[in-house]
Amino acid sequence: MAELTTIHWICLLLTILVVIVAGILYAGKQTGAAGFSLAGRKSGPLMIAGAFAGSALGGAATVGTATTAAYDGLVAWYFTLGMGIGMVLMGIFYARKLRESELETVPQFLGLNFGRVAAPVASIITCCGIFFACSGSVLPGSHLICSLMGVPPAAGAGILVLLMVAYITFGGQKGSSFSGVLKVAVLFTALLAATFIALYNYHDGSSVWNGMSSMFAEKGVFNKGGMYGFSYIAATVVGTITAQMYIQGLYSASDARTASRGAYLGALFTIPVGLMACFIGMYMGEHHPEMLESPAKASLVMPMFLLDASLVPSWVGGIALGGLALCIISSAAVQALAVSTMFSRDIVGDLFGVKSDRAIMMANRLGMVAVALLVAGFCLWQWQGSSLWLNYLSMALRGGGVVFPLTLAIFLSRSSLSRHFTTSWVLASMVIATLGALAVLPVPQDSSLVQWLADSSGITPKDIHDMLPVVVGMLFSGIVLLIGVLCTALRGKREVK
């Protein structure tokens, strides 16, 4: 296995240090809860895009995408492509109404439209979902630190948690947004150079275009079929538009138009990075098939490419590795901030009636540290677990039960919602959808249900198994809401008579 040289170390550490310190200095002193979690609602499009990218471009979007591409080719691009499409949809349909609500969390918005009791229920469900997403970022990040530094698991997880806390606790939303912009600039530039190297050397070393053409021809975007692509992108879109991390970025905008523009720019940041990761992963799959012998080796295909001094100059590899480390740190940190914001606002503030701005800000910061420590402990317990499974569990929890109520609240007026949807039916849809998603998690991949769905759709049993919780959650949520509409309509007719 390639090792970090002195030049790698210097460039890696300087990249991390400069970006984190710049974010803290840019944020300045945070004077209130809204200043800490929403940057004082003064963010411009670039800062919003930085917040989006800070969450989206984590370990799964970079290291995980490259690993999947080494096996399956360009279908690995669906993850960042789905997130980018979700951001565009947020900019078109969701940004204006969310920003004009002057709120701070998704549960607050649901509570405003469906009754106060909906907020804490949605908060608990969403917090659990984001907790597992954060764990899905910290787990591969800890593995990477342990592999590159030769430290035991507890030390790897501990180092990552310290960096997460420094990244958010001293800068809040404003600092993380600015750091997100710097991270994207560093990562995009370094990965672009690495991508040209991978494409040029893919086959005969004749040209970048020939390398790209060969990749698209051998394992193109549709090599698993159109149904697979649609299903995977749809599931990722659902997970994106219901994520507190991105909606918090919209709430931080100076106005609704700025929120929309920031979402579009975030998509522009996110989509190309996933494609570049695919090209690097496909190069490694072609030239170093021995790395695909085990999941542990496969998870290092991108770092090993960047460490190959015969291909990538050491200073470029070091900066790119620093960018990757920042991806993992910032994504996990922004997710932890989303959980702590919902905890401080929806639980401490709304449920327990705490009104002091200082107390809510303190609860937010302490909650951020607590979440980081809990995630580290969970990852050590699940050290041999799958980060991909954790991400699907996160999507099932935060997407399946929340996406329909949130979308209805966006597109319908409050008077229409009150006529057609009662609080009890909305609560039932969220709870039943979440329980349904959890109920199918233990279903084995070789079960008759999974095999039947795979035969009917043309999607592999593994991919059906991964997407099943999200699909079941959305199906149950839609059915319960439809029954609720019918029952409310029938009751209205009886009252008229």
What's the mean pLDDT in 99-127? 82
Distance CA 233, CA 26 (A): 35
Residue 496 pLDDT exceeds 60 = no
**pLDDT value, residue 263:** 92
pLDDT of residue 332: 83
Beta-carbon contacts of residue 230 (< 8 Å; ≥ 6 apart): none
Contact criterion met (CB below 8 Å) for 233 and 398: no
pLDDT for 467 equals 79
Question: Which pLDDT score is estimated for 312?
Answer: 87
Report the 10 Å Cβ neighbour count for 315.
13
Q: Do the Cβ atoms of 235 and 82 come closer than 8 Å?
A: yes
Query: What is residue 117's three-state secondary structure?
Result: coil
pLDDT in tens, 3-19: 778 898 899 889 888 88
Q: Which amino acid is at 225?
A: G
User: Which whole number is the average pLDDT over 233-246?
Assistant: 83
Q: Specify whether the backbone of 352 is left (phi greater than 0), alpha (psi in -120 to 50) or beta.
A: alpha
Predicted confidence (pLDDT) at residue 174 exceeds the cutoff of 80: no
- Tell me the residue length of the chain: 497
Two tokens at 122?
Answer: 């949605």
Q: What is the CA radius of gyration of the chain?
A: 22
Reduced to 3 states (helix: H, G, I; strand: E, B; else coil), residue 43 is strand
70-79, 223-232, 328-337, 476-485, range with the lowest pLDDT: 223-232
Cα distance between residue 487 and residue 405, in whole Å: 17
Question: What does the alpha-carbon distance between residue 99 and residue 418 come to, in Å, rounded to a whole number?
Answer: 22
| CB-CB contact of 194 with 312 (8 Å) | yes
Maximum distance among all Cα pairs of the chain, rounded to whole angstroms: 83
Tens-digit pLDDT profile for residues 382-406: 777 666 667 767 777 777 788 888 8
pTM as predicted? 0.84
Please provide the average confidence, as pLDDT, over all residues in the chain. 81
pLDDT at residue 172 greater than cutoff 60: no
Q: What is the pLDDT of residue 392?
A: 67
Q: Could you identify the residue written with the tokens 């969701």? A: 94
Q: How far is CA 54 from the centre of its chain?
A: 9
Question: Per mean pLDDT, which of 127-136, 163-172, 315-324, 383-392 is the most reliable?
Answer: 315-324
Q: Is the pLDDT of residue 478 over 60?
A: yes
pLDDT at 216 over 90: no
For 104, the enclosing helix (H) or strand (E) is: none
Are 84 and 239 spatial neighbours (Cβ–Cβ below 8 Å)? no
pLDDT at 33: 46
Q: Read off the pLDDT band of 26 (50, 70, 90).
A: low
Nearest residue to 171 via CA among 337, 304, 10 = 337
What span, in angstroms and rounded, lies between the C-alpha atoms of 104 and 119?
A: 12
* Cβ-contact 246, 94 below 8 angstroms: no
Here the contacts of 488-491 (C-beta below 8 Å, separation 24 or greater) are 488/419, 488/420, 488/421, 488/422, 488/425, 489/420
Enumerate the β-bridge partners of residue 43. 253
Determine the Cα–Cα distance for residues 400 and 474; give it in Å rounded to an integer: 4
pLDDT attached to residue 41: 66
